[in-house]
Structures are given as structure tokens and as C-alpha cells.
Amino acid sequence: MKRLIIICMLVAAIGSVFAERKALVIANSMYGKVLVNSAIADADSMEAALRTLEFSVLRHNNLRLSSITAAVDSFAQGISSSDEVVVYYSGHGTNASGVNYIVPSGVDLGNTQVYSKTAYSLSTLAQKLKLAKRSLIILEASRSWGLSGSKAVSKPFVAMIPVSAKQVIVSAAQPSSVVQLSLGTHSTFTQSLIERISTSEEGFNSIFPLVVSDVMARTGKLQQPWATGAFDGDFYFITTEMKLRWRNNYFEQGVDGGGSLSW
């Protein structure tokens, strides 16, 4: 019995050694004459935050449909059952006949589309990530379309369903609602989310309601972020191991004149 316990402990230890934190960050900002001004800046900030939080990050800008497919497939092939993964997308998204899609760069938003042929299905993305121990899909994409005065129609996301209890899908706005325009260089939701994941020791299930409160306060209750699913066991951006390393680095470097620890 004792030997069995030791073997189980060794297996768990080996599994934790090979477990990784991986992220895919995509920003699409160019849609002909329609530009998503904050998409690149939002993705830049998210990439930087995730790298600081010790994720290995793959980053892409302005992808056509074939490139989105290739990027997701390549990312998915590197996922193991012990990995925690994040996919962040900023750009345009839509729904067609109740199916949500990422809209590739270069698509003319003002023209009628057969999105099953010209865009990337979010249900496909969710399925590609199902092997991961936990996966989080973050969508800064339910935006109003078109130039001022154009006839382009807003088609925000509808409710999304994760593939399992190991996955949560997050949108910057609730189903059938659009993201409010931000006066700054960054979107309100992405800015709030980065602030929270970069400073909180709580898991995502606890962090997200705070993000919702932040965004609603900053937009005068016009925008409410939405999450579908809740992690079984939760998803921690700042792990115990990270806090210990940061604390050790703090003491090794020393602080002149005193100070206080963040973790």
C-alpha cells in the first residue's frame, strides 16, 4: 500500500512538471475600410500580461480564414491533457443562424456573407481545445459593425456553450448585445480583465464577477461581460508556485529602505 501511494505521488509530480500554461492571442483589425482601432493594442496588452503570468504565447495579427484555421490547428496540436490554455481574440465576430463566428481580416463587413464559408466557427475552436485540463476562450469581438452612417448591421454573438466543465467561454458583452465604444486606446473589458488577472490571487470564478462590475461601472451599465460555464476546480492566473518564486526573488534582490510584499 505504501509503495502504491509513493508511485501515485511520483506520477502526480511528473505530471505537474510537464504541465504547461499556453496561450493563443489573435487580433484582427483590418476589414477593408472598416478598422477596429483597439484590437492590436488590446492584444498587445493581453500578450504582455499572459507572458508575465508565465504563459507561453503564440501571437498573430490580421489573419485570413486559412491562417486562422492553421493557427488554431497548430496551437491545438501542442495541447496535452495536463495543460491550461487561454485563447484571446480581438476583432470582429458575428452569429449566423445561431452559430457564432470569428470574422477573418479582410472580410467586407458591409456585404452579405455565407459565414460558414468565410468565417471561423467558435464551436470548432471550443472543440479544438477540449483535450486541455482547462481552457478559457476570451472574445473581445461582439462589436457594432461598419463606418458611421453605413448600412452594416450589428450581429452580436448569441449564447455559447462550452464543450465540458473544463472550459469557460467569455464575451466582452452579454448575448445579443454589442461592445460599447471606448474613448481610450484599449477596450473597457480587456483593460479591466487584465487588471484583475494580473493582481488577484483568486481563481477565475471569483475574478470574473469583479470584471463585470468594473465594466458596468465604466460604461454606465451599458455593457455587461458574459461568461458561459464555470471551471470545475477553477483557473488560477497567479499560482501558488508563482507567488513563491516572486517572493523568493524579492528577498534575493533585497529592498533598500524596507517595503512590502505584493504576494
- CATH 3.40.50.1460 fits domain 19-252: yes
> How does pLDDT run across 119-141, given as a tens digit for each residue?
999 999 999 999 999 999 999 99
Mean pLDDT over residues 62-70, rounded?
A: 98
Q: Say what the pLDDT of residue 242 is.
A: 82
Predicted local distance difference test score (pLDDT) of residue 145? 72
Q: In whole angstroms, give the CA distance from residue 16 to residue 20.
A: 8
Q: What is the pLDDT of residue 146?
A: 59
- The pLDDT confidence band at residue 233, using thresholds 50, 70 and 90, is confident
Average pLDDT taken over every residue of the chain: 86
Separation CA 17–CA 203 (nearest Å): 21
CA distance 44 to 199: 18
CB 151 within 8 A of CB 110: yes
Do 168 and 231 touch, CB atoms closer than 8 A?
A: yes
Give the residue-averaged pLDDT of 195-206.
Answer: 94
- pLDDT tens digits for 240-253? 888 777 777 666 66
- Return the amino acid letter for 227: A
Query: C-alpha 210: how far from its chain's center?
Result: 16
pLDDT at 261: 37
Residue 155, pLDDT score? 82
pLDDT, tens digit, 9 for 90 and up, residues 94-114 = 999 999 999 999 998 878 889
pLDDT digits (tens, 9 = 90+) for 148-198: 555 555 688 999 999 999 999 999 999 999 888 776 789 999 999 999 999
- Between residues 196 and 37, the one the model is more confident about: 196
- The domain spans of the chain are 19-252
What pLDDT does residue 254 have? 57
| Sign of the four-CA dihedral 60, 65, 70, 73 | positive
Amino acid identity, residue 113?
Answer: Q
